[in-house]
Amino acid sequence: MINGGLAGCHHHQIQSLLLFKNEFDSRSCNRRDYFNGVQCDNTTGAVTKLHIPSGCLTGILKPNSSLFGFNHLRYLNLSHNNFTSSSLPSEFSNLNRLEVLSLSSNGFTGKVPSSIIFHLYIISPSFLF
């Protein structure tokens, strides 16, 4: 069973979410908005869905981001945030359970590594633009 918000999230997963948020300037996002898009599996406590509202994250998504430690993530929507123009980190391929990915309107540049899209069921049509 999966709940919204932080209900059912293991405390290590909550700490990782806070680390991820703190990697960016998130002053334009209040805490309630930030965690509304989180879902965790009640059995394992692992984050399975992450939907960060538009404009909550400003900065560079780095290859060593704590985002890439969410090994049970199945749904990720970071669209319409304010990531600084950069190439898409190949570390997205570490999220090997990911089924849905939307990164549109973020300014990512370059090609999408095939290792990222290999196992996806749904990918946003405007993936990088």
pLDDT averaged over the chain? 83
Nearest CA among 103, 90, 104, 97 for reference residue 120: 97
Residue 75 · residue 50 · CB < 8 Å:
yes
Structural domains for the chain: 2-123 (3.80.10.10)
Residues in a beta bridge with 87: 109
The token duo for 69 is 């430690």
| Helix ranges (DSSP H) in 4-129 | 11-22, 31-36, 114-117
Residue 93 · residue 113 · CB < 8 Å:
yes
Q: Which band of pLDDT confidence, cut at 50, 70 and 90, is reported for residue 110?
A: confident
Residue 32 confidence (pLDDT) above 70: no
- The residue that leads in pLDDT, 97 or 53, is 97
Kindly report, residue by residue over 73-98, the tens digit of the pLDDT.
999 999 888 888 778 888 988 998 99
CA distance 9 to 2: 10
Residue at 48: amino acid letter: T
Average pLDDT over every residue of 16-33: 81
- The residue that leads in pLDDT, 91 or 30, is 91
- The residue that leads in pLDDT, 29 or 19, is 19
Residue 28 · residue 56 · CB < 8 Å:
yes
